[in-house]
Every structure is written in structure tokens, then in C-alpha cells.
Chains A and B, each alone.
Chain A
Amino acid sequence: QVQLQESGPGLVKPSGTLSLTCAVSGDSISSPYWWSWVRQPPGKGLEWIGEIYHSGSTNYNPSLKSRVTISVDNSNNQFSLKLNSVTAADTAVYYCARGGYSSGCLDYWGQGTLVTVSS
């Protein structure tokens, strides 16, 4: 059973950098899947942030591309998200998932972690 678990600070100050890690179990991050980040602001719909392959190749949503970096740590079977210059609009539940645009689906998801941007 593939499981994903997000971790990171639940509170980030405005203009700071949001950093989250997704630990993967039940599958190797080096398997032939892409790995994605998705977010959902309170009361709003879901937004795909971007994806990474174990080789390090990435694709980002154009709406966030200038502020996002997704990286992979093959030795620890995890991948990470950094979002800089955050504002209150970046307050959301952040999910990691297996798959993405290049894989054609998001078949396994973490349960999500709430990140609040506030001073």
C-alpha cells in the first residue's frame, strides 16, 4: 500500500518561504511515476502546484512557477516543496500525491497539512 505523509511548519510569516516534505512509503520514489504537490485554500477548490520525476525533471503550474521549487531526495525516498514570497493567499491545505500531468493521474495522496501564512 502506497502511503504519503506531508510534514513541515504549520505557520509561515508573510514574505517568508513555505517548506514541506513528503515522505513516501510502500513505493520507491525512483519508480516510473511523477510526484506532485497540490493545494486547497480554505473554502476554495484544488490547485495543482507542480510535479517532479526521480531524475529531477520538474513541471510547474504557470500560475506559481516564479515562486516554486520542487526537489527530490532519492536516498530518503521523499520529495519537497518550497514556495517563496508567501502571502495570506498561500494559506491552504497542502497535499502530496503520486502521479501528475506527465503520469496522467494522481492515484495516491497524503492526507494533507494546513499551512497558515500569518505574522
Chain B
Amino acid sequence: GAGVSQSPSNKVTEKGKDVELRCDPISGHTALYWYRQSLGQGLEFLIYFQGNSAPDKSGLPSDRFSAERTGGSVSTLTIQRTQQEDSAVYLCASRGGTDTQYFGPGTRLTVL
């Protein structure tokens, strides 16, 4: 029973480059979430996928951020033209039939 996995664990990029972050949810979980955790801050909700429904994108901070979920499983969060303020830990979580979310270890993004 694997948990939620994320890759890469660390990503260093230059300002202006695009990055892709990957999340593999727990098998069978229909809901998938992305959060951002900035230094000294709490968790900021970004986007939520539930089954085949249109995703809830209400937390995305700008149009440089997008996410997709292919085949109802793996999800990719893409940040275009990265800025230094995008530096943070990006956390993915999945949820099955209860209201408990299970988190991955996160991807630490550093934008130089």
C-alpha cells in the first residue's frame, strides 16, 4: 500500500523557466489536491480534482499556474515563467471515501 508520492523531491530553477511537479496519489483515491507551503506560512490551497468533474481552480495565484490530472490518477502542476516568490514546498494530497486527506512528502522548489 504505497502512499502519495511526489517528484522531484527538490527542484532548483532559474527565474523565467517553466517547471513541472508530479503527484502520484494513493491508488483508488478519486480526489486530489495541491497546496503550497511557503516559509513560515501555513498551507495555501491551490487546486482540487474530484473524479471527472471540472477542477476547482479557485486557489491558483495567477495564470502562470496550471494543473492537469490524466486518467483520474497522476497529476502534474505546471508553473510557467517562474518567479522568486514561487519558491515554496508544493504538497499534494489525495482522498478516498472519507474526509481525510493523505499527503505526499512535497517538492521543494527554489527559484534563483
**A complexed with B:** no
Residues of A within 8 A of B (CB): none
Residues of B within 8 A of A (CB): none
